[in-house]
Structure 1
Amino acid sequence: MTNKAAILVAGGRGTRMGSPISKQYLPIAGQPVLMRTLSVFYSVDPSIELILVLPENDFSYWEELCQHYQFTISHRLVAGGNSRFQSVRNGLNSLNPETELVAIHDGVRPFVDKKVISESFETAQQQGSAIAVIALKDSIRKLTDDGKSFYQERQNFRMVQTPQTFQVKKIKKAFAVTELQQFTDDATVYENQGWQVTLISGNPENIKITTPEDMDYAEFIAAKQSSDR
């Protein structure tokens, strides 16, 4: 059986949320965001090694939350860095040496579909990588430096989500470089090695919770999921 891990990155302070509590700890339908995210990965495969990357100063607060909500899913805490790149690298460096595949996921995307997670591991095992994306619904235009704009064929573009799943040997080699400005996600770090990424279909509900409006929508999604069960 392939040894798999998931690194959930949650090092942000959530300044756009306008809350004294970081967004990853806010409750949705009675459960903090990160606990929902961890639970989805656990439900796909309880044997997946779960690694949660947090600011080191938040460790004790997180442990208090786990006690308060009686959250018992096994996971390891890893201290984040000064950027997402550094936080992911810290998570990769903490992996068990036998781990072959790793999914890297935004901790504040609690509504990723279980089918997307499963497919990401299957595709990464065969192709080396698997990046969840969705099609655009709106028309888009490209802006130029001189203030003009030009129509773009939206079918040629995709919105990138997580998980972004990789063969461990390759992604660890990719992250063993100096951080560059163009590293906007894990896929761009992987591509920097000259490797092509493989895209898979994500799910539209897999939003990245960033603003108060996102929290309102998250409550709606959670209520719908509960009524569909």
Structure 2
Amino acid sequence: KERKDSVKNGLDFIRKEIEYVLIHDGARPFPGKKIIRDIMKNLKRYPGVVCGMVSPDTVKAVKESYVNKTLERENIFFIQTPQGFKKDIIVEAYSRLGRKRFTDDAQFLEVSGERVKVIPGSKINFKVTYPEDLILARALLENRLV
């Protein structure tokens, strides 16, 4: 099973009266209350809301180990979770496109032609992927910084 299968199973069990859904990646242990509040506030106006950070680094498109192009980093965001959606829209998008392989849930709305609002994320909302990330997460917890 893939992550999207778990999300689909969760969506199948949401009560009808629920209006909004937040989908969060458990590998991001520190989303923070502000991000959650900001997503919920923006869901009143937009069908989908994601948080993200502008790339602080130069970003290059690379092909076969050679630089193909330098991208404008002002338009490159590292997207985080949680991601918020109007429930009926994400459920319908998953029903139609559930077999597709997307890297995040917002892509289901993108492909459906829905606009997804990007709000500021947080450097603390990093994904624990590598051993170094776990060291940083432990340090934040041990020093009560989160």
TM-score of the alignment, normalized to the shorter chain, above 0.5 = yes
What is the distance in 2 between the residues matched to 1:132 and 1:187? 11
Instruction: Tell me the residue number matched to 2:112.
Output: 193
What is the distance in 2 between the residues matched to 1:139 and 1:124? 31
What is the distance in 2 between the residues matched to 1:212 and 1:147? 28
SS in 2 for 1:95: coil
Q: How many residues align?
A: 145
Select the residue among 128, 131, 138 that pairs with 2:50: 131
Query: 1:127, CA displacement in angstroms?
Result: 1.1
SS in 1 for 2:66: coil
Query: 1:145, CA displacement in angstroms?
Result: 4.8
TM-score with structure 2 setting the length: 0.91
Q: Which piece of structure 1 moves more, 150-159 or 167-176?
A: 150-159
SS in 1 for 2:43: helix
In structure 1, runs of 5+ residues without a counterpart are 1-81
CA contact (8 A) 1:125 1:166 kept: no
Query: 1:124, CA displacement in angstroms?
Result: 1.2
Instruction: Tell me the residue number matched to 2:99.
Output: 179
Instruction: Tell me the residue number matched to 1:151.
Output: 70
What is the distance in 2 between the residues matched to 1:121 and 1:96? 18
CA contact (8 A) 2:59 2:70 kept: yes
Instruction: Tell me the residue number matched to 2:19.
Output: 100
User: Computing the radius of gyration over CA atoms, which structure comes out larger, 1 or 2?
Assistant: 1
Query: 1:117, CA displacement in angstroms?
Result: 0.3
Which amino acid letter does the alignment assign opposite residue 84 of structure 1? R
What is the distance in 2 between the residues matched to 1:222 and 1:137? 25
Query: 1:227, CA displacement in angstroms?
Result: 5.7
Instruction: Tell me the residue number matched to 1:204.
Output: 123
What is the distance in 2 between the residues matched to 1:227 and 1:114? 14
Choose between structure 1 and 2 for higher RCO, CA contacts under 8 A separated by at least 6 residues. Answer: 2
SS in 2 for 1:199: strand
Query: 1:141, CA displacement in angstroms?
Result: 0.8
CA contact (8 A) 1:164 1:186 kept: yes
What is the distance in 2 between the residues matched to 1:157 and 1:169? 29
What is the distance in 2 between the residues matched to 1:88 and 1:148? 36
Deviations 1:61-110 (A, max 9, x none): xxxxxxxxxxxxxxxxxxxxx11111111111111221100100001211
Identity of aligned residues (%): 32
Distance 1:227 1:107, change over 3 A: closer
Q: How does 1:42-81 map to 2 (within 5 A)?
A: none
CA contact (8 A) 2:50 2:118 kept: yes
What is the distance in 1 between the residues matched to 2:47 and 2:75? 23
SS in 1 for 2:24: strand
Query: 1:192, CA displacement in angstroms?
Result: 1.5
The answer to whether residue 106 in structure 2 is matched with residue 215 in structure 1 is no
In structure 2, runs of 5+ residues without a counterpart are none
